[in-house]
Amino acid sequence: MNNKHIIYFDGVCGLCNSFVKLLLKIDSDLKFATLQGVSGQKLLNKMKFNKSDFDTVIFQKNDQIYTKSTAVFEIFKTIGGIWKVFLLFSLFPVSFTDLIYRKIALKRYRVFGKIDQCDLSMFNKPGQFID
């Protein structure tokens, strides 16, 4: 596969793990890595992000990097189908959609829970999970 579509996510976040499980049902060609893992830490370092701040999803589509709400919109655009309906929200300014994203990120553990470690059993295809 020449195209690289990798989603970096908080591996202990209940919301993030549920989102990944949904994406796995929709598009089995996506690849995933936790921000806490080796690949995630390298990317955070390269992007000059705090290596212990896992409150953003990062989507690498080929050589382009998307974060926060822009990453979510680009993921929906990539998987296509009915999920493109969520792109209507991308008509709002990024400053607004990122504000909503940050509010959800701040409350995600309280509302959706925090797990001990990423549920690797959800990845049933070799090479689907990158660490």
The full set of domain ranges for the chain reads 5-114
pLDDT on residue 1:
40
What is the mean pLDDT of the segment spanning 69-96?
A: 94
CB neighbours (10 Å) of residue 121?
6
pLDDT in tens, 84-110: 999 999 999 999 999 999 999 999 999
Of 14 and 51, which is predicted with more confidence? 14
Over the chain, what is the mean pLDDT?
89
pLDDT on residue 3:
61
Three state DSSP letters for 63-78: CEEEEHHHHHHHHHHH
The C-alpha atoms of residue 48 and residue 116 are separated, in whole angstroms, by 26
Domain covering 5-114 in this structure, CATH number: 3.40.30
Residue 49's Cβ-count burial label (10 Å; 0-12, 13-18, 19+) is: middle
